[in-house]
Chain A
Amino acid sequence: MIFRILLYGVLVIFLIGLVYRFRSIARKSRFFERDKEPWAKKIFNFTATGFLFNTLFQIKLFKAGKLRWLVHGLVISGFSYLLVVHALDDVTSMMFSWYQPGIGPFRFLRNLAGVGVGLGCILFLVRRMNRARNIRETGDKGGLFKGTVSIFLILSLVGSGFLLEALRIISEPRFDEMVEEYSGLDEAGGLNELRAYWARNYHLVLKEAIPFASADFETGKALNQEYCLDCHERPDPAFVSSFLAGGITPIGNWLARFRVDLFLYWFHYGAGLLLLAFLPFSRMFHLVAVPVTSAWKKSTHVNLKKQMGLLEIFSLTACTNCGFCSQVCAVYPNFQITGNREILPHVKIDVVKTMAGKGLWDARAVARLRSGNDDCTRCGRCGDICPSGIDLVRLWTAADHLMESLGFPDNCTQALGTSFDIWTQPFPLPQVPGTGSSPGLADRVAAFEHCVQCTICTNACPVVAHDLNQNDLGPHQIMNLLRLGRKQMAAGSRMVWHCLTCYACQELCPQGIRVADILLELRAQGHRTAEQIKVSQLTNQGSDK
C-alpha cells in the first residue's frame, strides 16, 4: 500500500516536472513574429528512420565514437532489462508465467545487467573526471559534479541492489519469514534439516551453527524440493551477489539481526523512485528529448531562414554535454586565442537554454554568447556529429534571433545605431573576451601619414559607388580622420562596417597605404566598443530597475 502511494506521488512529481520543463522556456522565446513557421508543419516534417535508428541503436553516437557507444549501450541495455524484467516484474510476470526472480537464469541475467549498468556508469564518471581536468587547463570552472547527479543515483541504485540480494541470501530472519509463509514447517517437521541444507547449499548464515556431520541432509533436500525449489535455485548464478554474500558472511548474523536488508530494500526502492522523480530536471531528460530531436529532419540552408524563429524545448534539453560538437567545431581556434568558452557549441547550448528561460539575465554572459555565436560560421559540423540528433545550426540561428528580439543586437547594428556622443566617450569596462587588441596600423602614424587625399581609393570603392545616399565617409576621409587623431570616431563610421574587404582601395593607392587593412583594424576596434556599449547599457538597465 505504502509502495503504491509513494509510486503515485513520484509519478505526480514526474508529470509536474515535465510540465515545468516545458514551461521553463519563456513564452517570448518560443516564437518570433518574423517568418514564423507553424508548429504543425515542423512536427510533421519528420523522418521515421532517423527516429528508429537513432533512438534504438544510437547510430549517430556509433559514428561519432565507438567506445562511447559501447559504454552507453552497456548502460541502456542493462537498465532497460532491469526496468522491464526486474522493476516492473508485477506487470511483466503477468505476461510470462514462467518468470521467477529466484531461479538461476534470471538471477544471472539480473546480475549481468547490473554489472553492465554499474561498469558503464563508472566509466562515465572516469571520462568526466578526465575531461574536467582537460577543460580546467583551458580555464573552466565547472567541476566534476555538474550533471553527474543522475549517474550517482544510478550507481547507488545498482550498488544497493547487489547488497540487498547478498544480504537476503545470508539472512536467517528472512529465511524464517519465507518458511513460515510458504511451508509452515516447525522443528518437528524438519525445519532444522532444511536450515542445515540451506546453510550448506544456499549460503544461509545461521545464528547457531549446526554441525554438518550430524545433520540429515537427505531430509533437508526432500523438504527443499517440496517447498522451496520451484522459486529458489542455488544463488550461485547471481555471481556478484553471491560473491558479496561470501564477503559479508563474517558479519552476516549481526547484519541480519538489525534487519539491514529491510533498510537496503527501502533504500533501493527509494533510489529508484528518486531517479524517476529527478528525471525531468536532470540531464536524464534526454531520454525523452532525443527520440523527438532524432525524428525531426535537419534544416538545410534553404529552410533555415524560415525556421529561424523556432527554439523548442527538446533541442535544448536533448544535449548530454558529450562535447563531440566542440571537437569538430570549425571556430575552435577562435576559442584558443580569445578564451571565450561561449564559442564552443556544448557550452553555448547551455547558455542559450538559460537565456531562453531567463532572458538577458547576465550582461556579460549574453555578450560572450553573442560574440561566440557571431564567430560561428554555420558550417553545420556540430549538427552533423551530434549523437542526440539536435539540429544545432537551427538553434544557433534561433539564438541570434532571440537575442535580437530581446534587444541585444549584433555589433554592426549596435555600432551604426549608436550616437557619436556615446560612441566616442571612453568606456571604463574591462574588455569582453572575444576581441583582442594590440597596436596596429591605425596606431602608427607612419602607416597613413603619406595620404595625399587624392580620392583614388574612394573612387575605386564599390560601397561608395553603390551606396551614395547612405554611406557617410569615403576611405580617404577615414584616413583624414586618422590624421586628425579621431580613430574612435572613424571606427563608428558606416564605411568601416560596410567595407566589402575587396581591397580595391589598397591595391590602387599610389602612396602604398594599406587602406583596407586599416579599415578592418578599425572595425575590430568598433567590435570592442560596440560590445562594451551593449554590456554597459544592459547593466545600467538592470540597476535602474
Chain B
Amino acid sequence: MRVAYFPGCKIDFVLGDYGSAVETVMAQLGVSLVRLPFSCCGNPSRGKNLEVSVFSAIKNLALAAKYGLDIMTPCKCCFGQLKQGVYWYETRKDLRDNINRILAQEGLFYTPPSRDPGSHSPVIRHLLSFLLHDIGITRLKEKIIRPWEPVKTALQQGCHALRPYGVTGFDNPFAPKMFKALVEITGLRVIDWSKETSCCGNPIAEDHKELSLKILRHKVEDAAREGAAYICTACTHCQIQYQGAEALHILAKNKISAVSYPFILGTCLGIPLGKMGG
C-alpha cells in the first residue's frame, strides 16, 4: 500500500522521534510512505489570511492528486486544516477561482470530491483513521506481539480533527471512539476523563505562554486525579505541548508521562525502541 506522507512542518525540526515512530510503524505494517514536496498545510495562517490557508491546503491536495495518492498525516492540526481547505474551497467561489488560476500556472489541478464523485481527489487521512480504516483493527490485533500491561491511560484527542465535525467528519466530536479502540488493542486501559476532548493549549504557546501552560497544568492534574499513568497523544502539536521544558516539570510533578500513540503501537509490534528514538 502506498500513501503520500504529510509530516507537517514541525516533525523534522522539533519532534523527530514522533516522525521516526510513525515511519517505522508504517514500514512494519507494509505501508510505503511517499514523500512529496509538500508545503505548509496552512493552519498557522488560518487566523491571518484565510485565502493563504485555503490555498496552502489545496495546493498540497493537488500535488497528491497529481501522483494519484491519498494523504496521511500524523498531525491533527494538519488533518483539520486540509479538511478546512476543502470546505472553504467549496464554499467560497471567489477563493476557488483565484486558487485554480494559481494552481494552473504550476500545472496543478484540483477537483473537490463533492463535484466529481469518481474523481482522483485524494482522501485525507489522519494516522488514526488510516490505521482504523485502511489497515483495519483485526489486522493490527494479529500483528501485536508484545502488548502492554493494562495501565490507566488518558487520551488527548486533539481539537482540530474532532471539531467542527461538519468539516472534518473525523469522529463523534463529543464521544470519540476511534482513538479509544486503537489504544485498547495495545493492552492499555483507557479511562474516561472530563478533559479528553479539550484543547492542550499549544496554539497560544507563543502569544500567551502563561495561559497555555495553565491549560496544560489543569489537564495533567485532572488526568492524575483519575489515576492515569500515561497521557496518550496522536498529534504533533499536542505532543510538542506535552514535551516542552515547562510541561515536563508539570508532568513529573503529577507522575504522568506523555507518550505518542505510534510509539505505543510500535512497541506492541515489536519494534526496538532505538529505531523509534529519532
Contact = CB atoms under 8 A, between A and B. Distances in A.
A393 B165 contact: no
B211 A502 contact: no
Contact of B211 (A330, A410, A466): A466
A353 interface: no
B44 interface: yes
Interface string B9-20: 110111000000
A436 B51 contact: yes
B39 A331 contact: yes
Contacts of A336: 55, 102
B227 interface: no
Interface in B51-87: 51-52, 55-56, 59
Contacts of B12: 379-381, 384
Contacts of B46: 501, 520
Ranked 5 nearest A-B pairs via Cβ: A380-B13, A379-B9, A503-B163, A502-B199, A377-B9
Interface in B227-272: 245
B198 interface: yes
A507 interface: yes
Given A379-B10, A381-B12, A333 B40 contact: yes
Contact of B163 (A466, A507, A521): A507
A462 interface: yes
A412 interface: yes
Given A381-B12, A434-B49, A501-B159, A333 B44 contact: no
A346 B56 CA distance: 20
A301 interface: yes
A143 interface: no
A500 B159 contact: yes
Contact of A498 (B52, B160, B165, B208): B208
Contacts of A466: 211, 214-215, 218
Contacts of A501: 46-47, 159-160, 203
B50 interface: yes
A438 B51 contact: yes
Contact of A330 (B40, B94, B98): B40
Given A521-B50, A524-B47, A337 B13 contact: no
Given A331-B45, A498-B204, 8 more contacts: A337-B98, A379-B12, A434-B49, A436-B52, A466-B215, A498-B208, A501-B47, A502-B163
B122 interface: no
Contact of A497 (B40, B160, B207, B214): B207
A337 B51 contact: yes
A333 B163 contact: no
B39 A524 contact: no
Interface residues of B, number: 46
Nearest to B13: A380
Interface residues of A, number: 51
Interface string A507-527: 100000010100011011001
A336 B37 CA distance: 16
A224 B140 CA distance: 89
Given A301-B14, A328-B37, A333 B9 contact: no
Contacts of B49: 334, 337-338, 434-436, 524, 527
A301 B13 contact: yes
Given A330-B40, A380-B13, A435-B48, A506 B163 contact: yes
B199 A500 contact: yes
Contacts of A507: 163-165, 173-174
Interface centre among B47, B50, B174 (most CB of A within 10 A): B47
A410 B55 CA distance: 24
A337 B50 contact: no
A520 B13 contact: no
A470 to B, nearest CB: 8
Interface centre among B52, B173, B201, B211 (most CB of A within 10 A): B52
A500 B201 contact: yes
A374 B173 CA distance: 31
Nearest to A302: B245
Interface in A352-380: 374-375, 377-380
Given A466-B214, A500-B201, A378 B50 contact: no
11 contacts: A329-B39, A330-B39, A333-B55, A336-B55, A337-B52, A377-B10, A438-B51, A498-B208, A501-B203, A503-B160, A521-B50
Nearest to A298: B13
A328 B208 CA distance: 30
Contacts of A467: 208, 211, 214
A524 to B, nearest CB: 6
A374 B94 CA distance: 26
A343 B24 CA distance: 34
Nearest to A377: B9
Interface in A454-474: 462-463, 466-467, 470
